[in-house]
């Protein structure tokens, strides 16, 4: 016991092994790996607590739940991933195919409210811009009151086409 076939002891091997483990352990401590930043679009992980952001079947808005299963599809061409979750709520209800947009982390509720308000303001601004028709600019940009294909064609070209049509048809 404790000796190798050549008559020596194994202690020198044990000491080298202990030294290499200590050095590798210390080296691992010295490497600072940054933590992944978690935002509203970061996928939830199994076991993570969440809140509902709207009324779902059997779970009103603000109900606390826990992720039981994550599934979905990812586009390898850089498109938006499609995540769905199975969530067990505190009343015992298990609900599947819950969209990522219908859930939020409890620590990010304030950030989620800010995003919803910003989206509402942007939609309101877009509606106001569409309701007030603007005149065509001097460079021939289309007037915003036009719709369909005419909105994509500069107004100077449309006027030239109308004049040619009137000239040919009399």
Instruction: Please tell me whether residues 128 and 139 are part of one structural domain.
Output: no
Instruction: Please tell me whether residues 81 and 1 are part of one structural domain.
Output: no
Q: pLDDT by residue (tens digit) across 50-90?
A: 999 999 988 999 999 999 999 888 777 777 788 899 999 99
Instruction: Please tell me whether residues 62 and 145 are part of one structural domain.
Output: no
The Cα–Cα gap between 53 and 61 comes to 5
Q: Return the pLDDT at 157.
A: 85
Average pLDDT, the chain: 77
Q: In which domain, by residue range, is 25 found?
A: 1-33
Instruction: Please tell me whether residues 121 and 146 are part of one structural domain.
Output: no
Instruction: Please tell me whether residues 115 and 59 are part of one structural domain.
Output: yes
The Cα–Cα gap between 144 and 140 comes to 12
More confident residue, 99 or 24: 99
Q: pLDDT by residue (tens digit) across 78-128?
A: 777 888 999 999 989 999 999 999 999 999 999 989 999 999 999 888 888
Instruction: Please tell me whether residues 83 and 150 are part of one structural domain.
Output: no
Instruction: Please tell me whether residues 73 and 124 are part of one structural domain.
Output: yes
Instruction: Please tell me whether residues 20 and 102 are part of one structural domain.
Output: no
Instruction: Please tell me whether residues 109 and 155 are part of one structural domain.
Output: no
Cβ atoms 50, 66 nearer than 8 A: yes
Instruction: Please tell me whether residues 93 and 53 are part of one structural domain.
Output: yes
Instruction: Please tell me whether residues 12 and 43 are part of one structural domain.
Output: no
The Cα–Cα gap between 31 and 45 comes to 25
The arithmetic mean of pLDDT across residues 144-156, rounded, is 73
Q: Return the pLDDT at 95.
A: 93
Sheet containing 103-104: order of strands: 94-99, 82-89, 64-73, 49-52, 103-104
Rounded to two decimals, what is the model's pTM?
Answer: 0.53
């Amino acid at each position: 016991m404790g000796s190798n076939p050549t008559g020596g002891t194994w202690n020198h091997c044990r000491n080298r092994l202990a030294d290499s483990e200590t050095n590798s352990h210390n080296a691992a401590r010295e490497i600072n790996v940054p933590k992944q930043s978690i935002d509203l679009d970061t996928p939830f992980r199994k076991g993570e607590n969440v809140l509902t952001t709207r009324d779902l079947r059997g779970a009103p808005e603000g109900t606390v739940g826990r992720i039981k299963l994550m599934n979905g599809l990812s586009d390898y061409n850089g498109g938006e991933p499609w995540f769905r979750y199975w969530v067990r709520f505190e009343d015992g209800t298990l609900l599947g195919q819950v969209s990522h947009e219908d859930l939020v982390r409890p620590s990010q509720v304030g950030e989620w409210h800010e995003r919803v308000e910003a989206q509402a303001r942007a939609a309101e601004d877009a509606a106001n811009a569409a309701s007030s028709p603007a005149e065509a600019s001097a460079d021939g940009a289309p007037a915003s009151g036009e719709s369909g294909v005419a909105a994509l064609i500069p107004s100077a070209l449309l006027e030239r086409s109308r004049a040619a049509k009137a000239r040919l048809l009399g």
